[in-house]
Chains A and B, each alone.
Chain A
Amino acid sequence: MSGPFRLPPSAGARFGTRIDRDEPVGFRFAGRALSGLYGDTLASALLASGAPRWATSPTLGRPRALAALGLEDHVPVMIEDDSGDWAAISGDEIVIREGMAARPVRLAPKTSVRGMIRGVAIERLRRVLPLPRMRLPAPRPLPSTIEETCDVVVIGSGAAGVAAVTALRRTGLHVVIVEASRRPCGTSDLFDAVVAERALGDWTARAAAAFADRDALRLGATVIDIEPGPAVVAIERSDPRRPGEVVVRRISAGAVVLATGFRERPLVFRDNDRPGIIGSQAARALLRRHAVAPGEKVVVATLSDDGYRTAVDLKEAGVSVEMTLDARDAPQGGIVDEAKALGLPLAFSSVVTGVDYDEGAGRITGVRAANRLGDGAAAAARSIEADALVVAGGFAARDELARRSGLRPEHGLFTAFAGSGVADAIASGWRAGLAAANHLFAATEDQQPVVDALSDEADGPVAAYLARLGAEDADSAFVDFGAEITASDIGSAVALGADGPEALSRLLGLGSGLDCGRFSADLPSHAFAAAGARGAPAPLKTARLTLGLLAARATLR
Chain B
Amino acid sequence: MLRRALSSVLARPPSPARSHAASVGQSPAEAYDIVIVGGGVRALAIALGCASRGPVALFAEGEIAAAADERAWPVVRSAHSDLNRLAAEARAPKRLKRLVGRLPGPVARDAAGVLALASSQYDVEALTAAAGAAKAAGVAAWMVPPLEVSALSPPLGAGRDVGAALYEPGALTVDADALAFALADAAAQQGAALFAGAPVERLERDDLGVAGVIVGGRLIAARRVMLADDFAAIRLVRENRGRLSLKREERQIIVAEPGGPSLGPALLVGDLTLSRDIDGAITLSGPFSGNELARRAVEAAPSLSRLVMASEEPVTVWTGVDGRAQVGAADIPGLWLSLGFGRDALSGAVSTWRDAVRMLADKPADLALAPFAPTRRPTREVAR
For chain A, the bracket of interface size reads: 35 or more
Closest CB in chain B relative to A553 CB, distance in Å: 5
The reply to whether A550 and B310 contact each other, CB–CB distance below 8 Å, is: no
A544 at the interface (CB under 8 A from B): yes
Can you list, as one digit per residue, whether each of A480-502 has a CB less than 8 Å from chain B (1) or not (0)? 00001100010011111111111
The reply to whether B19 and A139 contact each other, CB–CB distance below 8 Å, is: no
B105 at the interface (CB under 8 A from A): yes
A107-115, A420-428, A439-447 - interface stretch: A107-115
Can you list, as one digit per residue, whether each of B278-300 has a CB less than 8 Å from chain A (1) or not (0)? 11100000000111111101110
- A-side contacts of B154, CB under 8 Å: 133-134, 136
The reply to whether A547 and B63 contact each other, CB–CB distance below 8 Å, is: no
- Smallest CB gap from A495: residue in B: B17
Can you list, as one digit per residue, whether each of B239-282 has a CB less than 8 Å from chain A (1) or not (0)? 00000000000000011111101101000000000000011100
Q: Which of A111, A113, A496, A502 has the most CB of B within 10 A?
A: A496
A99 at the interface (CB under 8 A from B): no
- Smallest CB gap from A112: residue in B: B6
A198 at the interface (CB under 8 A from B): no
Q: How far is the CA of A509 from the CA of B279 in the complex (A)?
A: 12
A377 at the interface (CB under 8 A from B): no
- Pick the contact of B19: A495, A511, A544, A555 (CB < 8 A): A495
- B-side contacts of A554, CB under 8 Å: 289, 291-292, 294-295
The reply to whether A116 and B65 contact each other, CB–CB distance below 8 Å, is: no
The reply to whether B306 and A546 contact each other, CB–CB distance below 8 Å, is: yes
Q: How far is the CA of A547 from the CA of B306 in the complex (A)?
A: 6
Closest CB in chain A relative to B5 CB, distance in Å: 7
Q: How far is the CA of A119 from the CA of B281 in the complex (A)?
A: 13
- Pick the contact of A546: B280, B309, B311 (CB < 8 A): B309
B177-185, B212-220, B226-234 - interface stretch: B177-185
A136 in contact with B185 given A119-B280, A496-B105 (CB within 8 Å): no
- Smallest CB gap from B159: residue in A: A139
A498 in contact with B65 given A489-B2, A509-B258, A546-B305 (CB within 8 Å): yes
- Pick the contact of B290: A110, A138, A548, A550 (CB < 8 A): A550
Can you list, as one digit per residue, whether each of A503-518 has a CB less than 8 Å from chain B (1) or not (0)? 1001111011000000
B333 at the interface (CB under 8 A from A): no
B367 at the interface (CB under 8 A from A): no
The reply to whether A136 and B261 contact each other, CB–CB distance below 8 Å, is: yes
A547 in contact with B254 given A110-B259, A498-B177 (CB within 8 Å): yes
- Smallest CB gap from B175: residue in A: A507
- Pick the contact of B310: A120, A126, A512 (CB < 8 A): A512
A503 in contact with B5 given A119-B280, A136-B158, A555-B295 (CB within 8 Å): no
The reply to whether B279 and A547 contact each other, CB–CB distance below 8 Å, is: no
Q: How far is the CA of A496 from the CA of B18 in the complex (A)?
A: 7
- B-side contacts of A502, CB under 8 Å: 62-63, 65
Can you list, as one digit per residue, whether each of B176-211 has a CB less than 8 Å from chain A (1) or not (0)? 010011101100000000001100000000000000
The reply to whether B24 and A499 contact each other, CB–CB distance below 8 Å, is: yes
Closest CB in chain B relative to A62 CB, distance in Å: 11
B308 at the interface (CB under 8 A from A): yes
A547 in contact with B298 given A137-B261, A497-B20, A507-B2 (CB within 8 Å): yes
- A-side contacts of B309, CB under 8 Å: 544-547, 550
Q: How far is the CA of A493 from the CA of B279 in the complex (A)?
A: 17
The reply to whether B306 and A507 contact each other, CB–CB distance below 8 Å, is: no
Q: Which of chain A's residues 508-557 have a Cβ closer than 8 Å to chain B?
A: 508-509, 511-512, 532, 534, 541, 544-548, 550-551, 553-555
- B-side contacts of A547, CB under 8 Å: 254, 256, 294, 297-298, 304-307, 309
- B-side contacts of A85, CB under 8 Å: 306, 308
Q: How far is the CA of A126 from the CA of B293 in the complex (A)?
A: 29
The reply to whether B311 and A506 contact each other, CB–CB distance below 8 Å, is: yes
Q: How far is the CA of A497 from the CA of B2 in the complex (A)?
A: 13
Q: How far is the CA of A280 from the CA of B278 in the complex (A)?
A: 41
- A-side contacts of B28, CB under 8 Å: none
- Pick the contact of A484: B1, B292, B305, B307 (CB < 8 A): B1
Q: How far is the CA of A550 from the CA of B297 in the complex (A)?
A: 11
Q: How far is the CA of A501 from the CA of B112 in the complex (A)?
A: 30
- A-side contacts of B384, CB under 8 Å: none
Can you list, as one digit per residue, whether each of A121-154 has a CB less than 8 Å from chain B (1) or not (0)? 0010011000001101111101000000000000
A59 at the interface (CB under 8 A from B): yes
A330 at the interface (CB under 8 A from B): no
B3 at the interface (CB under 8 A from A): yes
Q: Which of B7, B21, B185, B264 has the most CB of A within 10 A?
A: B21
Q: How far is the CA of A292 from the CA of B65 in the complex (A)?
A: 49
The reply to whether B258 and A111 contact each other, CB–CB distance below 8 Å, is: yes
A550 in contact with B306 given A111-B6, A136-B158, A507-B5 (CB within 8 Å): no
The reply to whether A137 and B2 contact each other, CB–CB distance below 8 Å, is: no
A117 at the interface (CB under 8 A from B): yes
Q: Which of chain A's residues 179-230 have a Cβ closer than 8 Å to chain B?
A: none
B361 at the interface (CB under 8 A from A): no
The reply to whether A60 and B64 contact each other, CB–CB distance below 8 Å, is: no
The reply to whether B306 and A503 contact each other, CB–CB distance below 8 Å, is: no
B303 at the interface (CB under 8 A from A): yes
Q: Which of A485, A499, A555 has the most CB of B within 10 A?
A: A499
- Smallest CB gap from A544: residue in B: B308
The reply to whether A139 and B308 contact each other, CB–CB distance below 8 Å, is: no
- B-side contacts of A137, CB under 8 Å: 261, 303, 306
- Pick the contact of B303: A136, A485, A495, A506 (CB < 8 A): A136
Q: List 20 A-B contacts (CB under 8 A).
A: A108-B259, A111-B258, A116-B279, A119-B280, A136-B261, A136-B303, A139-B158, A485-B1, A497-B21, A497-B64, A497-B185, A499-B63, A500-B197, A503-B65, A506-B65, A507-B5, A509-B310, A544-B308, A550-B291, A554-B291
Not counting A110-B3, A111-B2, a sample of 18 additional A-B residue pairs whose C-beta atoms are within 8 angstroms of each other reads A108-B259, A110-B279, A116-B10, A136-B158, A139-B306, A499-B19, A500-B62, A500-B63, A503-B65, A506-B311, A508-B3, A534-B196, A541-B311, A546-B306, A547-B256, A548-B305, A548-B306, A551-B305
Give 8 nearest A-B pairs by CB, closest first: A500-B63, A550-B294, A548-B305, A503-B65, A139-B302, A497-B181, A509-B3, A554-B291
